Amino acid sequence: MIKNNRLSNEQYTANFSDIHPPFETKDAALVEANRCLFCYDAPCTKSCPTGIDVPKFIKQIATENTKGSAHTIFSSNIMGAGCSKVCPVEKLCEGACVYNLMEETPIHIAKLQRYATEIAMQKKWQLFQRKPSAGKKVAIVGAGPAGLSCAHVLSRNGIDVTIFEKESKGGGLMTYGIAAYKVTPGFCNDEVEYILGIGGIDVKYNMELGKDITLAQLKKEFDAVYLGIGVGVARQLDIPGEKLEGVVDAIKFIYEIRANGFSTVPVGDKVAVIGMGMTAIDAATQAKRLGAKEVTLVYRRTEAEKPCTDVELDIARLDGVEVIWLAAPQKIKGAGGKVKQLVCSVMQLGQPDASGRRSPVDTGETFTLDVDMVIKAAGQVPYEKLVGKLKIQNSKGKISINENCATNIKGVFAGGDAVNGGKEVVDAVQAGKDGAAAIMKFLKL
Amino acid sequence: MADISSNFLGIKSPNPFWLASAPPTDKKINVLRAFEAGWGGVVWKTLGSQVKNVSSRYSAVNFGAKKMMGFNNIELISDRPLDLNLKEIKESLKLFPDRAMVVSLMADNDKKSWHELIKKVEDTGAHGLELNFGCPHGMTERGMGAAVGQDPEIAKMVVEWVMEAATIPVITKLTPNVHSVVPTGKAVVEAGTNALSLINTIQSVTGINLDTLVPNPYVAGKSVFGGYCGPAVKPIALKMLTTIAQNPVTSKVPVSGIGGVSTWKDAVEFMLLGASNVQVCTAAMNHGFRIVEDMIEGMNNWMDEKGFKTLDDFIGKSVDKITHWEDLDINYHHIAHINQDKCIHCGLCYIACEDTSHQSINIEYGKPYNTYTIKEDECVGCNLCQLVCPVNGCITMEEHRVAPEYLNWIEFQKRGLPLNDH
C-alpha cells in the first residue's frame, strides 16, 4: 500500500539528519588540517573538476586564516559549501589523496571544506568585490549550479546579470534533486542567498523559458545569454505497465520530499528502484527512510559497472536496501490500476558497449518481484523538445557547444547538465565558470 | 639486560634519568611521585635568596598539531620557606635512599650567604650540590643566576667560595645565554667545581597574542623574557655540550646533560656527546613522570642491541665524530634516489629542490599523480628532499664518491683544485 505519514516526527528527523556531520570543534578541524602534507601540484586539486587549491585552503585552516581558506575555496567553486556535502569525494579529491597510497585514511577534505565555508556563510563574509560596471547585461536561464556559478563570475567582473528560474527557489538539482540527508532545503536556500550576496544578480523566479519568456526576447534585451537549464524528467522505461499508479519518477519523488516535507510524501510497502546512479541511491535510501518496509535496487549490469560509488552503495546497503544485479525490468503488472509486481529479465554481460562497459544481454530467464511502488531512476532526459523549438543545435536534446561554450546561435552560450546530460554539481559549477569566461571574451572584456 | 645504573661523582642512581631543578622538584609530594615512577634522581628546585613569584608563569610554542615543541617560564627559584624545603629533602632521602638527591643553590652574592646555605643543605644528607648560574629571568636583575654564569670571573669567584665550604660533590650549571659556554666552564673547573651541567634555559619570547598584542606569558598586560626549553632547544644544547666535551679543560669533569631531553633517544644522544647522565623537565611537565618508564626500557633495549653493557661503554662515543669543517672529506659525495614503489607523489621533494635548492628533481606530469626522479648530474646531495619526504625510506642518499681517497680542504687548496665550479 502506498501511503504517507508512516513515521513520527522524531523518526523523520533522525532518518534525515546530516549523514556527514561536521567537525564538532575547531580543535578537531585543526588536528585534521595539520595532518595534510601540503602536496605540490596536488592530486586532490587535479581531481577536483573546479580545481580548488585544496592544500592551500587546508593550510589556511591550520594557520587559523579561516577567511583566507573560504576565499580560496570560493574563488574556484562558489558552491564550495554545497559541494562539500554532495560531492562524491571518494572518486574525486579524497580518492586521489596521497595518503591512500600509504594505506592511510585520506584527508577529510570535504569535511574541512565544509568547516571553512560554513563559518564564512554563518558570518556572512562577502569575500568578493564587484569590479566597476562594465556596462553589459547578461541573461542566464536556470539558477542551478551552472547558472549561479556563471552569474557570480560575471557579476564579479562588473556585468549585470539577470537569472530566469522556472522554480520558486534557486539551486537547481542541489535544491530539488539530492537526498535531504546530504543537504537540507534550508541550507540550499542559505547557499543561494550567500552567492547572490555579491549583488548585481537579479533572479526572476517562476519564469520558464519557452513559456514566460522567449529566447528571442532575451537575445534582444541582453548582450549575451547563458543557458543552464539542466535536464528534465527521468528516462522512460518503455515497458508495459509504466502508466500504472505507483510508478514514479525518482527526480519527482526527491523533489517532493524536499519541497513538501517528509510526512507528506507517500511511499509503498515494497519499493523497487530502477537504476544504480547517485539518484537511484538517493531515491532508494529515502524511500526506506520514509518508512517503506522493503526497498530493492534493480540494475541490469553488475557491481563492477555501477555508476554510483562504493560509498553511496554502502549507504543504501546500511539502510537495509536490497540489491539485485543483472536484472532488467521487463514489465510492471498491476491490479485495479495499481502496481502489483515487477517482472525482470535475468541478464548476463556481453561485449563492451560505447561506454566501454560490458553490455547486459538478456538470458531469456525472468523473475518476479512483488512490489507496490516502482521508482524510475535510470538516468534523466534532456529537454529535447524545448531545445528543438529554440532551434539550438543538439544531440538528442543535449545542447551542442564549441570550445568557447557557444551554441550555434550567436551570443547564446550553454553549460552544465543541459550540455553533458547530467553530471555532478561540481562539474556544473566549472561549466558555469567556463561559460562566464567565454561570455567575457565574447563581450571583449 | 644492560646495566643502566649510573655513578655520577660517586652519586649513585638506578638509572641516568634525573629530574632537573624546576617546578617538578619543588616539593616532597612531587619528588616522591617521581621516585615512585622510577626516576633515578632529582635536582631539588633552587634554594637560596628570598623571592616572590607572579601568577601566569609559562608559555609555549606549538608546531602544527604538536603542542609545547618549545616552552618557557618566568618562574623564579623556590618560593617556599627554606626550612620546609630542607625538612622535605631529608624525608625524601629517607624514603628513597637509593635515588640521587642533588640540591640546586643560588645564594645572595656574598661568601657568607653561600657558606651558610651549603651547611644547611649538607645537613639534610643530600648527595650533591648544583650551582644555579643559569636562571635567565628575575634573578639576573639582582646580579644572580645567569648574571653570574655570563661572567667567568664572577662565576669563578663564587665557585671558589663554594668549594671552601662544600664537602659533597659540586656541579656548576651553565647558562646558554652567552656566545660560548666554554669560558665560564673553564673558569669554574679551574675554581674547583667537581662537575658541570648544561644547558639552563635560553632567554626568549615565545609569541604574542594577536588580539591583545601582549607577548606571552601574559602578566597584567605585560610580559618579560622567559627561559626557553623543551624539544626545540635540544640541538643548541647538544652543540654546547660538545664544546664542553671537546675542550681539554672542561672535558676533565663529568657533565650532566640538560636541554629538551624527552625520550630515551634524546638521552642517548646527550650521553654519546659526553654527558654522564641527563636531566629532564619539560617532557615531564608535558606528560607527567610516567615518561621515565619508556626512557628506561628504550635505553636498555638499545644498549642490548648495540652490545653495550654499561653506560660507560657508550658515553662520549660521538664526541670525536664532530670535527672541523676543513677536516671533512671533500671527495665524499652522495646522491638522492627516489624509490618509485614507495613514492606517494606528494611533490614535496620536487618543490623544495626546485624553489630552494639545486633544481635536481625531474617532474613528469600525470593526472592525478606526477612522477619524480633525480637528475643525478645536478644533485649536490644536500639531503633536503629526503628531509621533506613523508615516507620513511622512500628517498635514500646513495654514496657516489668523487674519488676513493680522503681529501680535506687544506689538501684541496694545496693541490690547487678548482673552486666555485658548481
Question: Which of A69-78, A226-235, B399-408 comes out lowest in average pLDDT?
Answer: A226-235
The residue of chain B nearest to residue A55, with distances taken between CA atoms, is B346
Phi, psi of B293, rounded to the nearest 5 degrees: -60, -50
pTM of the predicted protein model: 0.92
Q: How far apart are CA A250 and CA A374, in angstroms?
A: 9
Q: Which of B348, B368, B390 sits opposite A43 (nearest CB)?
A: B368
User: Would you state the pLDDT for residue A136?
Assistant: 98
Q: What is the 3-state secondary structure (H, E, C) of A226-272?
A: EECCCCCCECCCCCCCCCCECEEEHHHHHHHHHHHCHHHCCECCEEE
Q: Are both A88 and A223 inside the same structural domain?
A: no
Q: Which residue has the higher pLDDT, B99 or A359?
A: B99
Q: Which of B351, B363, B368 sits opposite A46 (nearest CB)?
A: B368
Q: Are both A248 and A365 inside the same structural domain?
A: yes
pLDDT of B148 above 90? no
Q: pLDDT tens for residues B35-50?
A: 999 999 999 999 998 8
Mutation target for A interface from B346, B355, B391: give the one with most A CBs within 10 A. Answer: B346
pLDDT of A353 above 90? no
Chain B residue numbers with beta carbons less than 8 Å from the beta carbon of A47 are: 368
> Average pLDDT of B94-114?
95
How would you classify the pairing of strands B41-48 and B100-106? parallel
pLDDT of B22 above 80? yes
Structure letter (DSSP) for residue A99 = G
User: Would you state the pLDDT for residue A261?
Assistant: 87
Question: In 3D, which of B348, B385, B344 has the Cα closest to residue A102?
Answer: B344
Q: What is the 3-state secondary structure (H, E, C) of B18-54?
A: EECCCHHHCCHHHHHHHHHHCCCEEEEEEEECCCCCC
User: Would you state the pLDDT for residue B145?
Assistant: 76
The residue of chain A nearest to residue B367, with distances taken between CA atoms, is A46
Residue B269 Cα, gap to closest chain A Cα (Å):
28
Three-state secondary structure call for residue B314:
coil
Q: Are both A361 and A411 inside the same structural domain?
A: no
Q: How far apart are CA B246 and CA A228, in angstroms?
A: 76
Chain B residue numbers with beta carbons less than 8 Å from the beta carbon of A42 are: 346-347
Residue A41 Cα, gap to closest chain B Cα (Å):
7
pLDDT band at B123 (very low <50, low <70, confident <90, very high): very high
**Residue entry with cell 566549472:** A430
Structure letter (DSSP) for residue B143 = T
The residue of chain B nearest to residue A48, with distances taken between CA atoms, is B368
Q: Are both A349 and A435 inside the same structural domain?
A: no
The letter for the amino acid at A210 is: G
Residue A320 Cα, gap to closest chain B Cα (Å):
35
Q: Of A379, A402, A433, which closes a domain?
A: A379
Q: Which of B65, B365, B391 sits opposite A102 (nearest CB)?
A: B391
State CA A194 to chain mean position distance.
Answer: 19
> Average pLDDT of B161-190?
97
A207: in domain: yes
The residue of chain A nearest to residue B347, with distances taken between CA atoms, is A40
Q: pLDDT tens for residues A85-117?
A: 999 999 999 999 999 999 999 999 999 999 999
- C-alpha cell recorded at residue A115: 568547516
Rama region for B416: left / alpha / beta (φ>0; ψ in -120 to 50; rest): left
Alpha carbons within 13 angstroms on the beta-carbon side of residue B377 total 0
- C-alpha cell recorded at residue A222: 541582453
Q: Which residue has the higher pLDDT, B50 or B371?
A: B371
The letter for the amino acid at B213 is: L
State CA A378 to chain mean position distance.
Answer: 15
pLDDT of B106 above 80? yes
- Average pLDDT of chain A? 95
Three-state secondary structure call for residue B129:
strand
Chain B residue numbers with beta carbons less than 8 Å from the beta carbon of A38 are: 348
| Contact between A34 and B65 using a beta-carbon 8 Å cutoff | yes
For A278, A304, B326, the CA distances from A357, given in Å and listed in that order, are 18, 9, 67
Contacts of B307 (CB under 8 A, 6+ apart): none
Residue A100 Cα, gap to closest chain B Cα (Å):
8
Q: How far apart are CA B393 and CA B384, in angstroms?
A: 14
**Residue entry with cell 599523480:** B369
First CA to last CA distance, chain A: 60
A1: in domain: no
Residue B388 Cα, gap to closest chain A Cα (Å):
10
pLDDT band at B119 (very low <50, low <70, confident <90, very high): very high
- C-alpha cell recorded at residue B420: 666555485
User: Would you state the pLDDT for residue A233?
Assistant: 72
Q: Which residues of B are part of the catalytic machinery?
A: 135
A55: in domain: yes
Chain B residue numbers with beta carbons less than 8 Å from the beta carbon of A37 are: 346, 348, 390
The letter for the amino acid at B219 is: V
The residue of chain B nearest to residue A102, with distances taken between CA atoms, is B344
**CB burial string B53-89: b at 16+ within 10 A, e below:** eeeeebbbbeeeeeebbbbbbbbbbbeeeeeebbebb
Q: Are both A256 and A365 inside the same structural domain?
A: yes
Question: In 3D, which of B98, B72, B70, B88 has the Cα closest to residue B26?
Answer: B88
User: Would you state the pLDDT for residue A123?
Assistant: 97
| Contact between A41 and B348 using a beta-carbon 8 Å cutoff | no
> Average pLDDT of A316-320?
96
Q: Of A54, A89, A122, which closes a domain?
A: A122
Say what the ipTM of the complex is.
Answer: 0.90
Q: Are both A322 and A299 inside the same structural domain?
A: yes
- Average pLDDT of chain B? 96
User: Which residues of B touch chain A, with CB atoms under 8 Å apart?
Assistant: 64-65, 344-348, 350-351, 363, 365, 367-370, 390-391
Q: Are both A303 and A405 inside the same structural domain?
A: no
- C-alpha cell recorded at residue A388: 528543438
Alpha carbons within 13 angstroms on the beta-carbon side of residue B406 total 6
- C-alpha cell recorded at residue A116: 571553512
Q: How far apart are CA A327 and CA A329, in angstroms?
A: 7
Q: Which of B344, B347, B365 sits opposite A102 (nearest CB)?
A: B344
| Contact between B347 and A38 using a beta-carbon 8 Å cutoff | no
Residue B367 Cα, gap to closest chain A Cα (Å):
7
Q: Which of B346, B350, B367 sits opposite A46 (nearest CB)?
A: B367
The residue of chain B nearest to residue A35, with distances taken between CA atoms, is B65
Helices (H), strands (E): how many in chain A?
Answer: 18, 15
User: Would you state the pLDDT for residue B86?
Assistant: 98
A72: in domain: yes
Answer for the pair B178, B200: CB distance below 8 angstroms, yes or no.
Answer: no
How would you classify the pairing of strands A412-414 and A327-335? unpaired
> Average pLDDT of B246-267?
98
Q: How far apart are CA B237 and CA B241, in angstroms?
A: 6
Q: Which helix (H) or strand (E) holds A373?
A: strand A373-376
> Average pLDDT of A167-183?
92
Q: Which of B345, B351, B363 sits opposite A98 (nearest CB)?
A: B345
Q: How far apart are CA A40 and CA A55, in angstroms?
A: 8
The letter for the amino acid at B36 is: E
Question: In 3D, which of B166, B100, B106 has the Cα closest to residue B127?
Answer: B100
Q: How far apart are CA A140 and CA A418, in angstroms?
A: 13
User: Would you state the pLDDT for residue B8?
Assistant: 98
- The CATH number linked to A363 is 3.50.50.60
CA dihedral angle for residue A60, residue A63, residue A66, residue A71, rounded to 10 degrees: -30
How would you classify the pairing of strands A322-324 and A137-141? unpaired
Point out which residues pair with B397 in neighbouring strands: B336
Q: Which residue has the higher pLDDT, B66 or B142?
A: B66
Answer for the pair A280, A272: CB distance below 8 angstroms, yes or no.
Answer: no
User: Would you state the pLDDT for residue A357?
Assistant: 85
Chain A residue numbers with beta carbons less than 8 Å from the beta carbon of B368 are: 43-44, 46-47, 96
Answer for the pair A435, A226: CB distance below 8 angstroms, yes or no.
Answer: yes
- C-alpha cell recorded at residue B398: 646513495
Phi, psi of B290, rounded to the nearest 5 degrees: -60, -15
Q: How far apart are CA A311 and CA A309, in angstroms?
A: 5
Count of domains for chain A: 3
| Contact between B369 and A43 using a beta-carbon 8 Å cutoff | yes
Q: Are both A342 and A257 inside the same structural domain?
A: yes
Domain span at A146: 137-231+382-442
A295: in domain: yes
> Average pLDDT of A166-180?
92
User: Which residues of A touch chain B, with CB atoms under 8 Å apart?
Assistant: 30-31, 34-35, 37-44, 46-47, 62, 96, 98-99, 101-102
Q: pLDDT tens for residues B174-186?
A: 999 999 999 999 9
A152: in domain: yes
How would you classify the pairing of strands A373-376 and A247-249? parallel
Q: Are both A225 and A244 inside the same structural domain?
A: no
Chain B residue numbers with beta carbons less than 8 Å from the beta carbon of A67 are: none
User: Would you state the pLDDT for residue A195?
Assistant: 98
- Chain A and chain B share a number of CB contacts under 8 A equal to 45
User: Would you state the pLDDT for residue B140?
Assistant: 73
A310: in domain: yes
Answer for the pair A85, A20: CB distance below 8 angstroms, yes or no.
Answer: yes
State CA A78 to chain mean position distance.
Answer: 15
pLDDT band at A355 (very low <50, low <70, confident <90, very high): confident
Q: Are both A154 and A262 inside the same structural domain?
A: no
| Contact between A102 and B345 using a beta-carbon 8 Å cutoff | no
| Contact between B348 and A37 using a beta-carbon 8 Å cutoff | yes
The residue of chain A nearest to residue B388, with distances taken between CA atoms, is A37
| Contact between A30 and B65 using a beta-carbon 8 Å cutoff | yes
| Contact between B370 and A41 using a beta-carbon 8 Å cutoff | yes
The residue of chain B nearest to residue A45, with distances taken between CA atoms, is B368
Chain A residue numbers with beta carbons less than 8 Å from the beta carbon of B348 are: 37-40
> Average pLDDT of B237-259?
98
Q: Of A354, A379, A404, which closes a domain?
A: A379
Contacts of B79 (CB under 8 A, 6+ apart): B51, B52, B53
Q: Are both A78 and A184 inside the same structural domain?
A: no
User: Would you state the pLDDT for residue A11?
Assistant: 94
- The CATH number linked to A72 is 1.10.1060.10
Residue B133 Cα, gap to closest chain A Cα (Å):
39
Looking at chain B, the whole-number percentage of residues with pLDDT higher than 90 is 93
User: Would you state the pLDDT for residue A266?
Assistant: 95
Residue B344 Cα, gap to closest chain A Cα (Å):
5
Contacts of A294 (CB under 8 A, 6+ apart): A269, A270, A271, A322
Q: How far apart are CA A275 and CA B285, in angstroms?
A: 60
> Average pLDDT of A231-243?
89
Q: Are both A147 and A197 inside the same structural domain?
A: yes
User: Would you state the pLDDT for residue A185?
Assistant: 84
> Average pLDDT of B144-160?
90
A411: in domain: yes
Answer for the pair B145, B133: CB distance below 8 angstroms, yes or no.
Answer: yes
